[in-house]
A = this chain, B = another copy of it.
Amino acid sequence: MYTITVIPGDGIGPEVMEATLDILKASDLEFDFHEARAGYACYQETGNTLPHETLEIARNADATLFGAITSVPEQKTPSSILTLRKELGLYANLRPIKSYPGVKSLYGDVDILIIRENSEGLYSGIEEVTSEGATALRVITRKASQRISRVAFEEAKNRGKTRVTAVHKANVLRKSDGVFRNSFWKVAEEYKEKDGYRDIATDELYVDAAAMFLVTDPHRFQVMVTTNLFGDILSDEGAGLVGGLGMAPSANIGDDNGLFEPVHGSAPDIASKGVANPAAMILSACLMLQFLGEHQEAFKLEQALIKVLEEGIVLTPDLGGTSTTMEMAQAVKKYFKKS
């Protein structure tokens, strides 16, 4: 029995969440779903985008599913998702970039895992107004850099990947990305000695070169590990390569908690029409199942989605179909139950 916090949020968040929960309920596993609130609607009712209670529910759960939230323009505090990452200690952000059948994409056969450091860098929150403008502090520590590098090697092994590429800008950010770079190579040395990791090749690239190769030669990448904002940029670029945000899931992972969210936002333009593509939320649920150690359920769920994509019949409009979010989810559920 897993206790799962569910934060539907705003816009299409509740729609893709409902669809995904309906599929998960068909699983052999038992889930205890606790709904909690965050985002714009929550702010309008409670004056708070992220009530204390939501944090408490998330802290005590085995994992959290997060839909999407609309940010509050006048709000001066960080986005709720940033607060959740920080408060729950979710230091690793996993962003798979994967081609799926029937999805319009610039390349086929892409299967990259971008691992984004999720706790520091330019997300330190340390900014200062000066007489001339403002500054932001990019914080890179050995601890966080080594920790995220370890995640990269662990994930590489678990997913049968044979290369880890560190991405940084140490030619300009000599000291700060010097720390990231050295931490990566130190961890790489450790793993070279470990059974099961010896065959994992390692290399490094400057972030500008990585941004270029992602477009010209994505197959050269398997696992990429990088600092917070570089990961933010490269993972959206990568999502663009394989069909855009409609297919991009993410996992925010810490030592004893995980939060899983589609990379797409609340998409106000298509909200409440019931036509949002549920795939990114479903794939986020797959990442949650992997995190819970339920690898077989995760595999079954992804395969069910792949079958629906391959069939190409019950698809939402962004995928070229005419079905609703719920119809597509039902199609996935049917295969998931059969498997």
Interface residues of A (CB under 8 A from B): 71, 76, 78-79, 82, 106, 122-123, 127-130, 132-145, 169, 171-179, 207-209, 211-216, 229-230, 232-237, 239-241, 244-245
Contact = CB atoms under 8 A, between A and B. Distances in A.
A212 B229 contact: no
B215 A233 contact: no
A237 B130 CA distance: 32
Contacts of A141: 130, 132-133
Contacts of A209: 236
A76 B174 contact: yes
14 contacts: A71-B171, A82-B172, A122-B169, A127-B176, A128-B175, A132-B141, A133-B176, A136-B140, A207-B233, A211-B234, A212-B237, A212-B245, A213-B240, A214-B240
B179 A208 contact: no
Given A106-B106, A138-B138, A211 B211 contact: yes
Nearest to A82: B172
Contacts of A139: 133, 135
Contacts of A245: 212
Given A82-B172, A216-B240, 4 more contacts: A122-B169, A133-B141, A134-B176, A212-B244
Given A138-B135, A175-B128, A237 B236 contact: no
B176 A136 contact: yes
B244 A172 contact: no
Give the most central of A172, A234, A245: most B CB within 10 Å: A172
Contacts of A212: 236-237, 239-240, 244-245
B135 A142 contact: no
A134 B179 contact: yes
Contacts of A106: 106, 215
A150 to B, nearest CB: 16
Contacts of A244: 212, 216
B134 A178 contact: yes
B171 A79 contact: yes
